[in-house]
Amino acid sequence: MSDLHAILEQLGEASRKRILVLGDIMLDRYTWGDAERVSPEAPVIVLIADQHEIRPGGAAIGILMAMVVSTSVYTAFKMITGM
């Protein structure tokens, strides 16, 4: 129980601090589906995609986590676009 108390105390202290996040803002793309077969042309699995999801990645996830515990989050980032 003392570990939990220490973690909560540190989170409380973090809310009074300014946080700077440096890094690349990225989006992670996930695809779910069924592996139907192996392609005869190359050793790759043929996927029948059922669901797609895009989530923050790179420094973006760090920014979101910092915003949860801090009132002041500053960023310096480079946008990565590959879509």
For residue 49, what pLDDT is reported? 93
Can you tell me the distance from the alpha carbon of 51 to that of 80, in angstroms, rounded to the nearest whole number? 23
* pLDDT tens by residue, 59-72: 888 888 888 876 67
Contacts of 70 (CB under 8 A, 6+ apart): 14, 15, 17, 18, 19
What average pLDDT does the structure give for the chain? 80
Q: Where are the domains of the chain?
A: 2-79
Strand, helix or coil for residue 44:
coil
How many Cβ atoms sit within 10 Å of the Cβ of residue 64?
Answer: 13
Average pLDDT over residues 51-59: 91
* pLDDT tens by residue, 4-23: 778 777 777 766 777 788 88
Question: Does the pLDDT at position 28 exceed 70?
Answer: yes
For residue 82, what pLDDT is reported? 52
DSSP character string of 23-40:
EEEEEEEEEEEEEEEE-S
